[in-house]
Amino acid sequence: MRILGVEVDLVRPEEMLSFTARCVEGGRRAIIANHNLHSISLLRRHPAMAAFYESADLIEVDSQPMIAWGRLLGRPVRPFHRCTYLDWRNDFWDAAVHHGWRVFYLGGAPGVAERGASALRARWPKAQIEVHDGYFDARPGSADNATLIAGINAWRPQVLLVGMGMPRQELWIQAHSDRIDPCVILPVGAAFDYEAGVQSAAPRWMGRFGVEWLYRLLRDPRRLAYRYLVEPWSIAPEAWRDVREWLSQRAQSHRSTRAV
C-alpha cells in the first residue's frame, strides 16, 4: 500500500515472523524495515534513508495514526496490520527458542543491552542472545565498525536486531548490511531498553487505540515534544496528495456510475 508518500506491506505480526523463519531456514539475507510518521519526516532530512527502504525486503506499518489515515481514505488496512517489537516480542522469542535462532542485539547504552538480555533469558532460558552496546564509531570504515562486524560474523547470528533509534539504526544497516553474513536484520529502536526496564512501555491497549504516543510524550516531554507535536505537520504535503488522489478516484467512480 502506498500512503503518505511511502510504500508499506500490509502484514500481521505473525506473517512477519513467518517470513523471518523462511529466510532463516533458507540462509537468506533480509532486511525488515518499518514506517511511522517519524520515519516519513526523516526521509526529507536524510536522503540515505530512502536507499534503506528501497533495499528492504519487507516494510511493516509501525503506526496506528498511519493505519487510521489509510482507513479514512478507504485503503485495505486494519488495526491488526500494526507491527512493532512490543507487538511481536513474545511470539518472536518463542520462535527463536523453538527454532534455535542465534540472536544478536546491537544498541543501547553500555550495560543496558546486557540487562535486557538477562531479563529475556529469565523468561526464555534457552534463548541464544549476544549483545553489543550502541556507543561506538558508526562511521563507515571506522576501526570500531570493523571490529564490531567481525564480532557479529564470528558469532553467526540468524537474526540481527539493531536498536540505535531512527535514523542512526537505518543508516548503519544500509551502510554495512552487505558486510554482514546472511541473516535477517531488523531495526527495533529501544527494544532492549524496554526489556531492561530503562524505559517504560505503554500498555498494549494504548497502541491498539493509537494513543501510545501520548503515553511516551507524558513520560518524556522534553525529548519527544517536537517529534509528536511539531514534526507530523511536516508531512502535510504527502497527506494532501493522498486526499487529492482519493477525491480523484471518487470523481472517476462517480462518472463511471453515471455512465452505466
pLDDT of 240-251, one tens digit each? 999 999 998 888
104 — phi, psi (to 5°)? -110, 130
pLDDT band of residue 127 (cuts 50, 70, 90) is: very high
194 phi and psi, to 5 degrees? Answer: -65, -45
- How many secondary structure helices (H) and strands (E) does the chain include? 13, 8
Region 84-111 average pLDDT:
96
Mean pLDDT throughout 35-56? 93
Pairwise CA distance, residues 148 & 42, whole Å: 26
Mean pLDDT over 228-250 rounds to: 91
> Rounded to the nearest 5°, which phi and psi values hold at 31?
-120, 125
> Could you tell me which of 54, 55, 72 has the C-alpha nearest to residue 64?
72
Residue type, 3: I
Q: Is 123 exposed, middle or buried (0-12, 13-18, 19+ CB in 10 A)?
A: exposed
pLDDT at 206 over 80: no
Provide the residue count of the chain. Answer: 260
Asked whether the predicted pLDDT for residue 83 surpasses 70, the reply is: yes
CB of 143 closer than 8 Å to CB of 137: yes
Phi and psi (nearest 5°) for 140?
A: -55, 135
Cell digits for 203? 500498555
pLDDT > 70 in the chain, percent? 98
Answer yes or no: are the C-beta atoms of 35 and 63 closer than 8 Å. Answer: yes
State residue 228's pLDDT score: 83
The pLDDT of residue 38: 94
pLDDT at 209 over 90: no
Average pLDDT of the residues of the chain:
92
Q: How far is CA 81 from CA 1, 66, 115, 116, 175, in A?
A: 12, 11, 30, 27, 29
Q: What is the pLDDT of residue 61?
A: 96
pLDDT in tens, 152-194: 999 999 999 999 999 999 999 999 999 999 999 999 999 999 9
Q: What is the pLDDT of residue 259?
A: 67
- Residue of 187, 204, 212 lying closest to 68 (CA atoms): 212
